[in-house]
Amino acid sequence: MEHWAAKKKEEAENQFQRLPDDVVLNIFNKLSDIQCLCRCFVVAKRFSSLIPLVQTVSIKSKTWSSKYDCKTVPRKSEYHHGGTLPLGNLSEYLITNLVFRPLRELYNRSLFPTSHRDVSGVIFLSKLTHVRALNVELPSNFDGDNDSVSKWGAKFTPNLDSVTFLYASSLSKMMESEQQQKSESEESDEEEEMEHGITNRERNLRIVIAIECIKDAVLWLGILCFVADCPLSHFPMLQSVTITDSQKKGAKLCLSVEKLAECRNTFSMTRMHSLSSMAWSWTLENMRVGYVPVLQLPMSKYVMKGVTIVNYKMFADDDYDAYKAMVDAFAGEQDVFSEAVVQIQEKHKDCMINLSF
């Protein structure tokens, strides 16, 4: 029996060996995951000669969750003094340590650990000199209610002017919501007891989630700078880079050949390190928050309820236009979130206020 099993295994291996190199290379391109490519690289000499020719590589990083966990303020924390004191006291710590510490680590080390066994991506990537498409997926720490929907976005520039976060308690088809308009009006008395239509505690819980998204945005910018800062000789054929997160909570960042060339001229890890040293200027007073109880989305025929929008000004100039920045942050999405931001800009501008502590 053992002899028969060994013979079958040998026959299967021989059949694979008969495949032409271009077919095997196409399989590796479909595989794309860098961890799997690493393992295949050490299996056979033939594989080690073909894998450096792979044109599509995907990296799913899991190490950020443990190294840079932003769960210092649990979602279930109780907020006292109107819900403002904890956020005010934690402002400097949250921004300086939880957002910028990863950037300092990126500057002091490499994005990828030196061990080729590390699941987050490796220095092994430098062996793949024929890479044309690089796809990076980072873990998402989002912790919201089951019925809620959310997304964050940013227009990535060397300064990362701002980050926008949109959160809704629910999303439903417009006809369903219209049938509930009567019951919503009956609840208006309860809403009057809330500040801006939402309790301070729930508002602060959403702000904590927004801060986690700010951390993610800075990490994305750091990775973008890392790729742009790599010598062109490492990836001479690179044509596209995408960065996303495991729960698709961030607006997907896609860079084509032209954008990559622009990034190489403007982005650098040295620049990111200098930004991290300016973290002292960041406070939660830079944050503008708005609340819309019911937001109609006529184009997509959906309606959002309990909508909170947060815009955090980071390194923008004094003439910075928050509403334009919010629209730009979701410009590439073309979904309910991009429409929601446009609707808020057109019909609910007055809902945005600066936080004070």
Q: How confident is the model at residue 324 (pLDDT cuts 50, 70, 90)?
A: confident
Q: Which two tokens stand for residue 70?
A: 């932003």
Asked if residue 128 is part of any domain, the answer here is: yes
Asked if residue 306 is part of any domain, the answer here is: yes
pTM of the model: 0.75
Residue among 120, 331, 88, 119 at smallest CA distance from 219: 120
Burial 280-311 (b: 16+ CB within 10 A, else e): eebebebbbbbbbbebbbeebebbbbbbbbbb
Q: Phi, psi at residue 334, to the nearest 5°?
A: 55, 50
Asked if residue 343 is part of any domain, the answer here is: yes
pLDDT of 81 > 50? The answer is no
Asked if residue 35 is part of any domain, the answer here is: no
Asked if residue 24 is part of any domain, the answer here is: no
Asked if residue 107 is part of any domain, the answer here is: yes
CA separation for the pair 38, 12 (Å, rounded): 22
Count the domains in the chain. 1
Asked if residue 229 is part of any domain, the answer here is: yes
Asked if residue 19 is part of any domain, the answer here is: no
Q: Which two tokens stand for residue 120?
A: 């987050």
Domain that holds residue 239: 62-354
Three-state SS for 330-348 is: CCCCCCHHHHHHHHHHHHC
- Rg over CA atoms, the chain: 24
3-state secondary structure at position 89: helix
3-state secondary structure at position 1: coil
The model's pLDDT over 214-268, given as tens digits with 9 standing for 90+, comes to 888 888 887 888 788 777 767 889 999 999 998 889 988 998 998 888 888 888 7
* Better pLDDT: 143 or 356: 143
Q: Which two tokens stand for residue 222?
A: 């750091």
28, 50 contact by CB (below 8 A): yes
